Structures are given as structure tokens and as C-alpha cells.
Amino acid sequence: MRTILVLMDTLRRDALGCYNPEGAAHTPHLDAFAEDSLVFDNHWIGSAPCMPARRDIMCGRYNFLERPWGPIEPFDATLVDGLRAGGTYTCIKTDHCHYARTGGEGYLQLFNSWELFRGQEGDPWVSRIDEPDNMPETFYGRVREQYQKNRAKWPREEDMPSPRTFRAACDFIEENAENDDFFLMVEAFDPHEPFDVPDRYMDMYGGAEGLDRDYFEIPPYRRVSETDIPEGAIEYVQRRYKALVTCTDHWFGTLIDALKARGIYDDTMILVTTDHGYFLGDRDYLGKNYMHLYNELAHLPFIVHFPGGARAGERAGQLTQAIDIMPTLLDAYGCEVPSSVRGTSLMPLMTDATAPTRDYALYGVHAMTVNVTDGRYTYFRAPVPGNRPCYEYAAIPHTIRKKMGTDCVDDIEMGRFLSWTDYPVYRFPCTKPANIDQREDCLEEVRDSLLFDLDGDYAQVHNLAGEDAPAEDRMVALLRRGLVEHDAPAEQFDRLGLS
């Protein structure tokens, strides 16, 4: 069995032609791949953002109910552990810089072999003490000095980190095509910001001219109306994002070409998805994390090429999430699925279009709202005023770029607090969501619970909370059930006013 999981960070669903024929970016390779594959129409985010989503994939259970951004824990039963125990060779090629930061430990080391291409975002890679020569004098949003140092190291498109990731994946295929038992993870940081893209792709969207400042590649995580960014610059960064999607699509195409050239495309299982979406001025928002998880962030692309072209060109309406990837792949290899897994194998859908998956999906950012969908309604449950009680649980006390608990040492406890493992963990009082770093009031945008009927209001404009009592009661009951079935810490019920 050969399988390849392709993860493109921050890939909006509406950027792909197979989901949005009228307004998508130019994605000929992904569109052609979709024609050969089963396209999932009801795929939802689980834990957000980047590293929480990856722990969902690796462990088959939600990260966000217990902790924020963090490493693989010592008690985690992972996808790669299961595959390796069954004798499958595992490899990852990636330029996802967060794996090399505090809070991203333990993922790469799971694999038999791994390769990390440096330089994305603010990756502390190029060791130049002086300010770089390419700092823009005027700009919208943010500029990372470290990234400006890094980007000077790739004068050609093929030298950039995400293209190098796909080229390395092609090399892996070339070297190992005669082997029929491997799992390859190809993880491109693009199209995550900064939206740094060669001019040839910008030329497809009107060019890089017309901005009234030198630079706009990294939006601030704020409302547009709270910034000095004009409408023209918003349109410009939207074009930059589409251009980067097209660039990523091009390099994805090289991987598909490599598989076809070696004659193993047809019988290889290939899964393509992302971790989360992004706001590019929609609803007055830029960025992610600090707002409600509207569809722009939460409704995701997921495309699966089954061996032999099973169900090619078809659509699946069943609910799916990232936590389903682990049991799906273990099932495909005939490996045992650990009892800790809460995801569902999607392998039955390869031969049965009516195979059930799940009847709800939970999703969220730790210490923010907890959300649920049944595929028709989306319900965002806001925390009670004060957002208490709220805890973070971890055996390895690292989160995004920092150690946990340094501001509350006297209040840290340790015990067997998680119902699904006997491994002792630290319990930290959570006073501020770890993933929100650009706002003083982290809960400012999520104080109210919201309910939307996607059948007639996919844009999520008309809040039905307080208006449609039967639907709201049904979704609250579904949320309660989800918290129980996914082993949520007991205080989540108090924090969400569900006691």
C-alpha cells in the first residue's frame, strides 16, 4: 500500500475550482486531481490553528478541548507509530517552520526519515546580525526582519521552501517507486502568509503594481476598519493570496507528474487537505484565531484519490474532519486503531457512497468558543463572562514559542486529570488563549453565541440564536453530547454555561 498525505497550510476552500468554479484561483492541477478523486463537500476544521490541527491528524482526536498549540505528548498514540509498527516506511518532506520552534516538538521525529526546508515566516534561519538590505520603507500590515533575511537566500522560484518541499517529494518517488509499502507526508507551508510569490504568478492576477506602499504580504490580525489599510490594498493582498495558491498548485502538479511518470499514480492513495482557512478582508477581518470560526476558516477542502480510481469524479456529502485521517490510513494498511482515537475511518466510502461517517463535528480554538455543526446548522457557543474555569493540560509544558505556566507557578497542579489516559499531566490556569497574540482583549469578537442555517444562509449573516429555539436546543444538545463523547475536561461545561 502506498499513501501520500498532502497538506497545504491556509488553503481556503473557495480558492479551488472544484469547490468554487466562478471565483477560485487558477488551480488546474488540483482541479484535474479532483476529477480523478472523491471530493468531500462537508469537511470541517477540528482544532485550530496550525499545530493543534496537526495533532488532530496525528492522533485522531481533538487537541483543542484540552490544550492550545503544542507538541506530540508522550502518551499520544500516533498515526506514524501505528504504521511503523506494521512495517510501513514513513517519511515527511516539509517547510512548515513551526516544527522547529518551541511548541512543535516531536512530530518530525515520529517518521523513519524527515526533511525540513528552512526559512518560512519568521524562522530563525539566516544568521545575519545587521538589518537586511531588503527592508521596505513603507508597508501595510507587518514585516518580519528575519523573513527578509531568509528570502534573500532563494533568488529563484525553485529555491523557495515550498517548491523545494515538492521537489524533495518527487525525489522520494523517483528513488522509492519500486517499493509498495510507504507513507509519504508532503507538507507545504504555502499558501500561508507571508504571501511571497514570484511575479509570474502575480502577472496572472493583474501584476504586482498599483500598491501605494512598498510592501503588503503579511496582514495584521485585526479588523480592516481598525487599520489604515484601504480597499485597494485589500484587493491587492487578495490577489497575492490567489497568486500563491496558483504557485502551490503548480508545484503540486510536479508531484502528480512524478507519480504518473513512474506508473504508480493510479494505485496510490493520495489525500489533499489543509489545516484552516483565512480572512482576507471578508467580514471586515484579516487573519485568523481571534474571531468566530466562520466558514471562511472552518469549512475546508478535502480530496481523496483512492487506489484504482474508485469513485473518481464523485462527491461525498458525509461529515468529515482531520481526526478521521488517522483511522482512515490505519484502516487502509490493516493496522489496529487505538482505543484513544475518536475519528472515523473513511475507507468504507471507497466502495459504498452511502457509508456513514459522523452526525456532528466539533471545532474550535482552545479557550475560545466551542462550535458544532451537523452539516446544516453551525452553532458557536461563547464562554461565560470571565471565561472561567479554564485550564490547559500538558505533560510537555510548551506552547507556541514559549513555555507554559511561567506566570502562574504557584497555581500549577499535577495529576491524572485527563479521563482517557493514566499519564499524569500538568494543569495550568488559563488566563489568556495562547494562540491570540495581537489583541489585548482576546474574547472581544466572540462574546455572543451564534446559530446559522447553512441551507439558506451559507454566508452566515442571519444569527438565529434566540430566534429559532428548536434548532438552538438541538444544537446545544449536540454540543453537550460531543463534549462527553470526546472526553472534554469537566470544566468545559461550566466555562460554556452548560452545567
Per-residue confidence (pLDDT) for residue 144, from 0 to 100? 96
Mean predicted confidence (pLDDT) in 349-371? 98
User: CB of 330 within 8 A of CB of 337?
Assistant: yes
The C-alpha cell at 411 is 497555581
Q: Is residue 438 predicted with pLDDT exceeding 90?
A: no
Under the banding of pLDDT at 50, 70 and 90, the label for residue 305 is: very high
- The DSSP annotation for 466-492 comes to TT-HHHHHHHHHHHHHHHHHTT--THH
**d(C-alpha 191, C-alpha 35), whole Å:** 22
Under the banding of pLDDT at 50, 70 and 90, the label for residue 435 is: confident
User: What count of Cα atoms within 13 Å lies in the side-chain half-sphere of residue 449?
Assistant: 21
**d(C-alpha 111, C-alpha 96), whole Å:** 15
Burial code of 376-404, b = ≥16 C-beta within 10 A, e = fewer? Answer: ebbbbbbbeeebeebbbbbbbbbbbeeeb
Neighbour-count burial of 103, counting CB atoms closer than 10 A to its CB (0-12 exposed, 13-18 middle, 19+ buried)? buried
Per-residue confidence (pLDDT) for residue 369, from 0 to 100? 98
Q: What backbone phi and psi angles, to 5 degrees, belong to 82? A: -65, -40
Per-residue confidence (pLDDT) for residue 381, from 0 to 100? 98
Q: Torsion angle of alpha carbons 42, 43, 48, 50, nearest 10°?
A: -150
Q: Is the peptide bond prior to 191 cis by the omega test (within 30 degrees of 0)?
A: yes
Q: How far from each other are the two terminal CA atoms of the chain, in whole angstroms?
A: 47
What is the torsional sign of CA 43, 44, 46, 47? Answer: positive
Q: Is residue 175 predicted with pLDDT exceeding 90?
A: yes
pTM reported for the whole predicted model: 0.98
Q: Compute CA 474 distance to the chain's CA centroid, rounded to the nearest angstrom.
A: 28
Ordered by start, the domain boundaries in the chain are 2-350, 361-495
Give kind and range of the element (H or E) at residue 116.
Answer: strand 113-116
Neighbour-count burial of 468, counting CB atoms closer than 10 A to its CB (0-12 exposed, 13-18 middle, 19+ buried)? middle
389-428 pLDDT, tens digit per residue, is: 999 999 999 999 999 999 999 999 999 999 999 999 999 9
Give kind and range of the element (H or E) at residue 243.
Answer: helix 231-261
Q: Is residue 439 predicted with pLDDT exceeding 90?
A: no
CB count in 10 Å sphere of residue 429: 15
CB count in 10 Å sphere of residue 147: 24
User: CB of 76 within 8 A of CB of 420?
Assistant: no
User: CB of 449 within 8 A of CB of 384?
Assistant: no
**d(C-alpha 259, C-alpha 486), whole Å:** 38
Mean predicted confidence (pLDDT) in 66-95? 98
**d(C-alpha 114, C-alpha 224), whole Å:** 39
| CATH pick for 2-350 out of 3.10.150.10, 3.40.720.10, 3.10.310.10, 3.90.1520.10 | 3.40.720.10
Average pLDDT, the chain: 97
**d(C-alpha 208, C-alpha 197), whole Å:** 10
**d(C-alpha 492, C-alpha 390), whole Å:** 7
21-54 pLDDT, tens digit per residue, is: 999 999 999 999 999 999 999 999 999 999 999 9
Per-residue confidence (pLDDT) for residue 437, from 0 to 100? 79
What is the rounded radius of gyration, in angstroms, for the C-alpha atoms of the chain? 22
User: CB of 71 within 8 A of CB of 107?
Assistant: yes
Q: Which residue has the cell 498515526?
A: 79
The C-alpha cell at 133 is 538590505
Q: Is residue 436 predicted with pLDDT exceeding 90?
A: no
Alpha helices in 283-338 (DSSP H): 295-298, 325-332
